[in-house]
Each structure stands twice: as C-alpha cells, then as structure tokens.
Amino acid sequence: MPKLPLDLQTVLAGFDAVWSPRIVTTVNDYDIRLARFAGEHVWHKHDETDEFFLVLDGEITLGLREPDGERTVRLSRGQLFVVPRGTFHKPSAEHESVVLLVEPSGTLSVGDDHEEVPDTVDVTVGHPV
C-alpha cells in the first residue's frame, strides 16, 4: 500500500500494455487495478465475486450474458458498472480506454470460466505498480 499519494497519470505513463492490469493499491482484501482496454477481451465469469468497472478515459462496452439473453452496456468517461458474480461478460473498447477495476486480491483477469484466451490478453492476477 502506498505511503504517499499516488498519481494515476504517472502509473499510466509507466505501461502501455492493454488487458494487463496494474495493482495501484489494496483496500482490505480488494485490489484497485488500473488497466488499458483496446480491442476485445474474452467472454468470462467470476463465480465468487462481482466486478467493478469505472471508466476514467474513453469508452468501453460490456457484453453480458444474462438469463433472459445477451445485452450490451456502454460506459463513457466517469460512468461505472458492476457485473454481478456468475455473469458471463466480455469487455471491449473500440479505441484505447482507461478503466479502474475493483476485485478481490488474487482474482484472475479471465475469471473462473472463460473462452480461449488470445495472445492480446494477459492472464494475470494483476501486476504490482
């Protein structure tokens, strides 16, 4: 946990990889992660946890598979959304976007169940800053 204020722009300047979240701090047992989104992630779900998305820059789309069918949620800068546990979802961004994520520490970026992972997606529990 940082002992001094942390500047997110400085963190962002330190990496350019998409779909490769950085852990900027931990609150209780939750990681606060900063990630660049561009292109498509994979359909995946987290069986035991919700997933919090806050768009800091750009625009993202979340595909959701729900009991009554698929739907799409679009989020712009300053908007947030929580994907409920057990819900298959697929984040994507037409243009590079910056997203703050909140998940329990140790949560895998491709969830507990997922489709085949392309080389463009980092399978990780997050990289410390």
Dihedral sign (CA 38, 32, 113, 119): positive
The upper half-sphere exposure of residue 106, i.e. CA atoms within 13 Å in the direction of its Cβ, equals: 3
How high is the pLDDT of residue 46?
A: 96
How high is the pLDDT of residue 1?
A: 63
CATH number for the domain spanning 99: value is 2.60.120.10
Please state, in angstroms and rounded to a whole number, the distance separating the CA atoms of residues 42 and 123: 11
In a domain, 34, yes or no: yes
In a domain, 73, yes or no: yes
In a domain, 123, yes or no: no
Look at the chain and report how many structural domains it folds into.
Answer: 1
| Domain carrying residue 75 | 18-116
pLDDT per position as a tens digit, 23-81: 999 999 999 999 999 999 999 999 999 999 999 999 999 999 999 999 999 999 999 99
Please state, in angstroms and rounded to a whole number, the distance separating the CA atoms of residues 26 and 28: 6
